[in-house]
């Protein structure tokens, strides 16, 4: 996507969705998806991300607003006429059909000629590394192979858009990670526009050109993965995307793009400002665990605390420290680090670059 022209392919404008006329599942949704983009809708259960995907697919209808494909309204077009490929967590493969028959099904129902169907199925199976499985039945395949068949079925008719709803949710961690990279590679190879729904933030960070973070029916933030992770706009995004320390504080002063704030225990910290940062206002000081340096000796700008727990995770140590006032901070360090205080009850001094922390809305 870097350097590519941003041609809007799909847009949602003023989209609302309610089932009872009172409670909105999706609210005032405006979203543009670029051609060839891999966009992930990320959020917890009930945040509105899956409902948005179902409205795009045509399985749900918006209460209000418009959905456009290349500038043409599609929100009143039935699903089977939208030419969208859809992949669900449940593969929904026909057990009585071979892999080739499953992949070719969408072409047959569209009335595609037999020779053209055979050509497209063969080409798609080859691209998906499934040619050797063409005559097998789904029950003879692994979970990862079945998911590739489901994806092949969604691609074989050359869709205008590919929609994926938690497609890797039923797989184990290792296979899920392998398929994340494979799906991303396939999307790039075919030049696909993909809208992908997940609640797994690592999956979103790994696969996406951009991420739209949903909560309570709203998009809280949308942008590239690095921006979402490094520059969260509010407390929810900071806490939901990746590990994060959120410390309750009160802003005492603002100077330029830096704010000074007082934590509950009285310690003063400095962090970058956001649009919500005001002197005298509550704030959440957001700092990622890997950006904190634990020190055995005090230094200016460091917070003093006590080691309360140490967890070994193989490639890193997670050091938990309790601050005066009761706040707990987690620090991530490589297991090879030798200058890290790891004794329970030992004093520890936590330092970070003020430009790595954010003074977010405290509400």
Instruction: Output the six-digit token pair for 195.
Output: 């809208």
pLDDT at 3: 53
What one-character DSSP code corresponds to residue 130?
-
pLDDT at 80: 84
CATH architecture of 243-361: Beta Barrel (2.40)
For each of the chain's 363 residues, which pLDDT tens digit applies? 445 568 999 999 999 999 998 899 999 999 999 999 999 999 999 999 999 999 999 999 999 999 999 999 998 899 988 889 999 877 788 999 999 999 999 898 888 899 999 999 999 999 888 999 999 999 999 888 888 898 899 888 889 999 999 988 878 888 888 888 888 988 898 899 999 999 999 999 999 999 999 999 999 999 999 999 999 999 999 999 989 999 999 999 999 899 999 999 899 999 999 888 899 999 999 999 999 999 888 888 899 999 999 999 888 999 999 999 899 999 999 988 877 888 899 999 999 999 999 999 866
- DSSP letters for 32-87: EEETT-EEEEE--TTSSHHHHHHHHHTSS--SEEEEEETTEE-TTS-GGGS-EEEE
Quick: pLDDT tens for 182-210: 889 888 988 999 999 999 999 999 999 99
The residues spanned by each domain of the chain are 8-230, 243-361
Which class is domain 8-230?
alpha beta
Tell me which H or E stretch contains 226.
helix 225-230
Task: List C-alpha distances in Å: 279 to 134, 212, 257.
Answer: 66, 30, 13
Q: Give the rounded distance of the alpha carbon of 321 from its chain centre.
A: 29
What one-character DSSP code corresponds to residue 217?
T
The answer to whether residues 328 and 287 touch, using CB atoms and an 8 Å cutoff, is no
Query: 3-class DSSP state for residue 161?
Result: strand
Instruction: Output the six-digit token pair for 325.
Output: 């006032």
Angle between helices 143-155 and 173-190 (to 10 degrees): 20
Instruction: Output the six-digit token pair for 342.
Output: 């790891």
Task: List C-alpha distances in Å: 87 to 54, 148, 153, 307, 354.
Answer: 11, 10, 9, 46, 43
Q: What is the C-alpha separation between 317 and 289, in angstroms, rounded?
A: 11
Q: Which long-range contacts (CB under 8 A, 24 or more apart) does 273-277 make?
A: 273/359, 274/233, 274/234, 274/358, 274/359, 274/360, 274/361, 275/233, 276/234, 276/360, 276/361, 277/251, 277/359
């Amino acid at each position: 996507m870097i350097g590519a022209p941003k041609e809007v392919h799909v847009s949602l404008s003023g989209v609302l969705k309610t089932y009872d006329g009172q409670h909105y599942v999706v609210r005032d949704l405006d979203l543009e998806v670029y051609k060839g983009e891999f966009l992930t809708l990320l959020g917890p259960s009930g945040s509105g991300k899956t409902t948005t995907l179902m409205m795009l697919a045509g399985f749900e209808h918006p209460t209000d607003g418009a959905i456009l494909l290349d500038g043409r309204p599609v929100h009143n077009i039935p699903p089977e006429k939208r030419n969208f490929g859809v992949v669900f967590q449940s593969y929904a493969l026909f057990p009585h059909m071979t892999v080739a028959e499953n992949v070719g099904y969408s072409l047959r129902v569209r009335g595609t000629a037999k020779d053209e169907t055979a050509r497209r199925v063969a080409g798609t199976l080859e691209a998906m590394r499934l040619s050797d499985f063409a005559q097998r039945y789904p029950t003879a395949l692994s979970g990862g192979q079945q998911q590739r068949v489901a994806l092949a079925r969604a691609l074989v008719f050359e869709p205008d858009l590919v929609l994926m709803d938690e497609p890797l949710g039923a797989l184990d961690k290792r296979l899920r990670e392998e398929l994340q990279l494979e799906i991303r590679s396939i999307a790039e190879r075919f030049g696909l526009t993909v809208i992908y729904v997940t609640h797994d933030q690592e999956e979103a960070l790994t696969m996406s050109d951009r991420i739209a973070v949903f909560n309570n029916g709203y998009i809280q933030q949308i942008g590239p993965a690095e921006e979402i992770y490094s520059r969260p706009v509010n407390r929810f995004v900071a806490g939901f995307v990746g590990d994060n320390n959120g410390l309750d504080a009160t802003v005492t002063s603002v100077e330029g793009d830096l704010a000074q704030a007082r934590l509950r225990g009285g310690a003063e910290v400095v962090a970058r400002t956001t649009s919500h940062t005001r002197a005298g206002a509550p704030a959440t000081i957001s700092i990622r665990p890997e950006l904190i340096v634990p020190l055995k000796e005090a230094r200016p700008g460091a917070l003093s605390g006590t080691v309360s727990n140490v967890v070994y995770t193989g490639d890193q140590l997670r050091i938990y420290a309790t601050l005066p006032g009761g706040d707990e901070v987690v620090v991530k360090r490589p297991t090879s680090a030798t200058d890290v205080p790891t004794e329970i009850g030992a004093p520890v001094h936590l330092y970070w670059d003020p430009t790595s922390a954010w003074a977010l809305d405290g509400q």
